[in-house]
Structure 1
Amino acid sequence: MSDKKPLSPSERILATRRKFLTTAGLAAPAVLAAPAIVRAQAPIRWRLQTYAGPSLGEHVIKRQVDAFNAAANGEMEIELYYADQLVPTSELFRALQNGTLDAIQSDEATMAAPVDISVFGGYFPFATRFSPDVGSLFTYYGLDEIWKEAYSEVDNVTYLSTGAWDPLHVFTVDKPVRSLEDLKGLRVFGVPTAGRFLSRYGLIPVTVPWDDVEVALRTGDLDGVLWSGFTEMYEMGWADICKYALSNSITGAWFGSYYVNTPSWEKVPPHLQQLYRSTIDQSHYYRMIWYWGGEAKLRVEGEKMELTSISPEEWNQVTKDAESFWDEVAGESPRAARVVEILKKYSSDMEKAGYPYR
């Protein structure tokens, strides 16, 4: 008889999802590698830092970097750094501009990018329902052009691409949220724009270094997090601390983007630029499936957090309040107004399209 301890439901789910790494395109970079040849010149070396810590970074960026390094065949090598390892996350953009970093992965709001669309990066309340919404907004509705336009006005930074991450929920250590009243006074670590929106209901956004979140949750300095969906809660171990998960989603998917230092990018030959863009696209594909499928299974089968909900009547008020929040943001700049108009148009189109779009 085997004395091996049976896996819990969430452990089985996470194990299955990690197995996905062996079948997804980004799992085996050696397959992509070209035959080895001798090169006279030293390889191009880049430093890339992500917003994510090591456990999350394994899925949102490391596979892409590994695949690129293997396929670059010695012509170029990217060194990957996780959250706050070289510079604080809040200084990512500045470090990219001055060449301390050659590339970054983040959202505008988290790193306070000096562009008038930064409020839309990360989680913009109720901008998306599903992860495919992100790619559709950027590909078919013009957000990609607006992002490129905004960053063309910033020295030394080139915007490359945006993809979808997980949805956004409120998770709490020992204070369940079952009404808007329960949000009052909650100190949560989270993304700036969603925190700004929910602060109208009394929630208190708190900023701490990513590595300090777990300790702050355990000591009571934080009551919870407003930073992710169920996937990341389990992957990062925060589900071991938080007892409650609010099932009402503030946004269906995070806007996460890739940027490069312009002088560094211009030194990269075209075939390696294309390789970098291609591995970004592979990463978008892998990540969307990893989040989408795993998110659902962990909500249904995960055993670590009790699901709570705010009634449809109260939540309808929240979605109604988001409309005035959108209009408030639209008043911040003409370009922000253009983004809001696109979001409104997209939302209307999805409602008209009906099932399965809405």
Structure 2
Amino acid sequence: MTTRRDIKPEQGSAVLLSRRGALGLAGAGAVAGLARPAIAQTTIEWKMATVWPKDLPGPGQSAQRICDAIEVMSGGRMRVRLFAAGELAPPAGVFDAVSGGTAQMGHAASAYWQERMPAAVFFSAVPFGLLPQEQMTWIELGGGQALWERLYAPYGVQPFMGGNSGGQMGGWFTRPVERLEDLNGLKVRMPGLGGEVLRRLGATPVSLPAEELIPALRSGLLDAAEFLGPASDRALGFQSVSKLYYAPGFQEPNGTYEALVNAVAFNGLPEDLREIIRAACRVETSRALSESNWLNADALRQLTENDGVEVRHYPEDVLLALRATSADVVSGLAATSDLAREIYNSYAEAQAHLGPWSAVTEGLMLRARAL
């Protein structure tokens, strides 16, 4: 209660309110507070189209975790609903769905757009190219992100790294590869640049979807097939039709997934939500790589210890031929456009810059641990 002793002289008699007046003003304030309309939080609703089957281990899970992270990190202000392959757009149409605004986001791998933009493959994997950590370093610090954005800018698409499957295996073979001549006439499922490399060395690349690979190997339609890594390969059942598992996966030493965002929608967001999308993609890139390494290590042990699979290395003459031919195939991408040449040069410079460090750290350490 206010008393006369609480009133400062300079406040004067204007502040000397009667008890009835004070209560009246308090009541009026309370009524005014009740009458003030509540400010409702508006949730931004987005769609994400993916190239992956529903709940596909690895990339499908990465896409869902990005959606979940955006909602949690935004405190519910933004929600992204995931649509698996074919639900909102076919796999080949995901880029156009994001570009045209049918979906505000997409999740894929840049190699899917190779026919439209040959240089797009540099942002997923190229034969004998950057390893996962090297790829991340090039994108984040070596100028790769800016070049990626320039490549997609004409389509109104903003790209981010959105996961990583790590390095791949060389594939499953129904007959051994002991010398270079063994590639002649080899019917092999290896998409992308790796398939072109093998074609130039005498093999016959065959394009088949994942669900047809096991029957094709069993029937003899295929002599060899490459899919992903031990975890996914074992889940698909390759060990039931072949016991020869070759390494290294020269065709894809890295497996970056991409998160695609419609540029108009992205730039229309408040700055904090744009940063949340960036952060969600960055966190998932690191987590997916860690998860892939863990699961592949476990699956490789099961394949060799429980399933009777033999991991073989490509012979040296085969590797040398694969590497030389890969260099020709990859450098040929530079001739497709001026921007493609810039991307190729930047990628090559990053590999030359990072390679010696990787060799004296990871390379020598792995050899020392194997002694």
- Tell me the TM-score range normalised by the shorter chain: 0.7 to 0.9
Cα 1:40/1:336, change in 2 over 3 Å: closer
In the TM superposition, what whole-angstrom CA distance separates every residue of 1:271-320 from its partner, at most 9, and x where no partner exists? 22222221111111111111234334433453343222221233122212
Tell me how far apart the structure 2 counterparts of residues 247 and 281 of structure 1 sit (CA, whole Å): 29
From 76, 79, 85, give the equivalent of 1:77.
Answer: 79
- TM-score where L is the length of structure 2: 0.74
Cα 1:101/1:219, change in 2 over 3 Å: farther
Deviation at 1:224, TM superposition (A): 4.1
Deviation at 1:238, TM superposition (A): 4.3
From 331, 337, 340, give the equivalent of 1:333.
Answer: 337
Cα 1:309/1:40, change in 2 over 3 Å: closer
Deviation at 1:76, TM superposition (A): 2.3
Cα 1:183/1:121, change in 2 over 3 Å: farther
Indicate if the aligned counterparts of 2:160 and 2:259 stay in contact, CA closer than 8 A: yes
Corresponding residue for residue 249 of structure 2: 249
Tell me how far apart the structure 2 counterparts of residues 150 and 235 of structure 1 sit (CA, whole Å): 35
Corresponding residue for residue 34 of structure 1: none
Which secondary structure state, in structure 2, belongs to the residue aligned with residue 87 of structure 1? coil
Corresponding residue for residue 147 of structure 2: 146
Task: Say which structure is richer in helix.
Answer: 2
- TM-score where L is the length of structure 1: 0.77
Tell me how far apart the structure 2 counterparts of residues 116 and 108 of structure 1 sit (CA, whole Å): 10
Deviates more, 1:229-238 or 1:195-204: 229-238
Code of the residue aligned with 2:81 in structure 1: it is E
Corresponding residue for residue 12 of structure 1: none
Deviates more, 1:213-222 or 1:334-343: 213-222
Which secondary structure state, in structure 2, belongs to the residue aligned with residue 54 of structure 1? coil
From 305, 327, 332, give the equivalent of 1:323.
Answer: 327
Corresponding residue for residue 269 of structure 1: 270
Cα 1:299/1:281, change in 2 over 3 Å: same
Deviation at 1:222, TM superposition (A): 4.5
In the TM superposition, what whole-angstrom CA distance separates every residue of 1:119-139 from its partner, at most 9, and x where no partner exists? 4243311112x3211111112
Cα 1:113/1:145, change in 2 over 3 Å: farther
Deviation at 1:348, TM superposition (A): 2.7
Tell me how far apart the structure 1 counterparts of residues 71 and 218 of structure 2 sit (CA, whole Å): 38
Code of the residue aligned with 1:140 in structure 2: it is L
Corresponding residue for residue 347 of structure 1: 351
Tell me how far apart the structure 1 counterparts of residues 41 and 349 of structure 2 sit (CA, whole Å): 54
Tell me how far apart the structure 2 counterparts of residues 274 and 103 of structure 1 sit (CA, whole Å): 15
Tell me how far apart the structure 2 counterparts of residues 207 and 38 of structure 1 sit (CA, whole Å): 56
Cα 1:203/1:87, change in 2 over 3 Å: farther
- RMSD of Structure 2 on Structure 1 (CA): 3.0
Which secondary structure state, in structure 2, belongs to the residue aligned with residue 70 of structure 1? helix
Which secondary structure state, in structure 1, belongs to the residue aligned with residue 360 of structure 2? coil
Cα 1:224/1:157, change in 2 over 3 Å: same
From 87, 103, 106, give the equivalent of 2:105.
Answer: 103
- Note the residue ranges of structure 2 that are not aligned, 5 or more in a row: 1-37, 364-371
Which secondary structure state, in structure 1, belongs to the residue aligned with residue 260 of structure 2? strand
Deviation at 1:192, TM superposition (A): 1.5
Code of the residue aligned with 2:144 in structure 1: it is L
Cα 1:237/1:60, change in 2 over 3 Å: farther
Matched-pair identity in %: 18
- The answer to whether residue 188 in structure 2 is matched with residue 191 in structure 1 is no
Code of the residue aligned with 1:104 in structure 2: it is G
Code of the residue aligned with 2:78 in structure 1: it is M
Cα 1:48/1:198, change in 2 over 3 Å: same
